C-alpha cells in the first residue's frame, strides 16, 4: 500500500519523531526512549515515514540511524506555501479589525 505523506504527518507520534530527528540522526532505540510506547511501535512509525520518504536511513556499524529527508520536507513546505499567503492576508485583516475595535474603546 502506497502511503500519502500527509497521512504520515497527520499522526502526532510521527510528527514528534520528525521533530526529534530534525536536530540529529537517531536510532530507533534512542527515539523510543522519548515515547511511552514500545520499540516496535516506534519502528512501525519509522517504517511509515520511510515509505513516504520523509526519513532516510544511515547505517553506521551495527546501528541504523534515521535522519530527516529535507528534500521531501521541502515538497510539503511548497504545498503549504499556497495557503500561507491566504492565512497572512486573513491575519492582517484581523489585526485591522482588532486595532479598530481597540481605538473605538478609548
Predicted confidence (pLDDT) per residue in 19-71, tens digit: 999 999 999 999 999 999 999 999 999 999 999 999 999 999 999 999 999 88
Q: In this predicted model, which residue has the larger pLDDT, 73 or 20?
A: 20
Distance CA 32, CA 56 (A): 17
Structurally, what CATH architecture does the domain formed by 1-68 represent? Orthogonal Bundle (1.10)
| Domain chopping of the chain, boundaries | 1-68, 70-106
Please give the model's pTM, rounded to 2 decimal places.
0.76
**Whole-number pLDDT of residue 5:** 87
Cα torsion 8, 13, 30, 22 to 10°: value is: 60
Q: How many CB atoms lie within 10 A of CB 103?
A: 8
Amino acid at each position: 500500500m502506497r502511503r500519502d505523506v500527509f497521512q504520515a504527518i497527520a499522526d502526532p507520534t510521527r510528527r514528534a519523531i520528525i521533530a526529534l530527528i530534525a536536530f540529529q540522526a537517531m536510532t530507533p532505540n534512542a527515539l523510543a526512549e522519548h515515547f511511552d510506547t514500545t520499540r516496535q511501535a516506534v519502528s512501525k512509525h519509522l517504517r511509515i515515514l520511510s515509505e513516504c520518504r520523509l526519513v532516510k536511513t544511515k547505517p553506521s556499524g551495527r546501528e541504523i540511524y534515521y535522519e530527516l529527508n529535507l528534500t521531501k520536507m521541502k515538497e510539503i513546505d511548497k504545498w503549504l506555501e499556497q495557503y500561507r499567503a491566504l492565512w497572512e492576508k486573513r491575519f492582517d485583516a484581523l489585526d485591522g479589525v482588532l486595532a479598530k475595535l481597540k481605538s473605538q474603546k478609548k
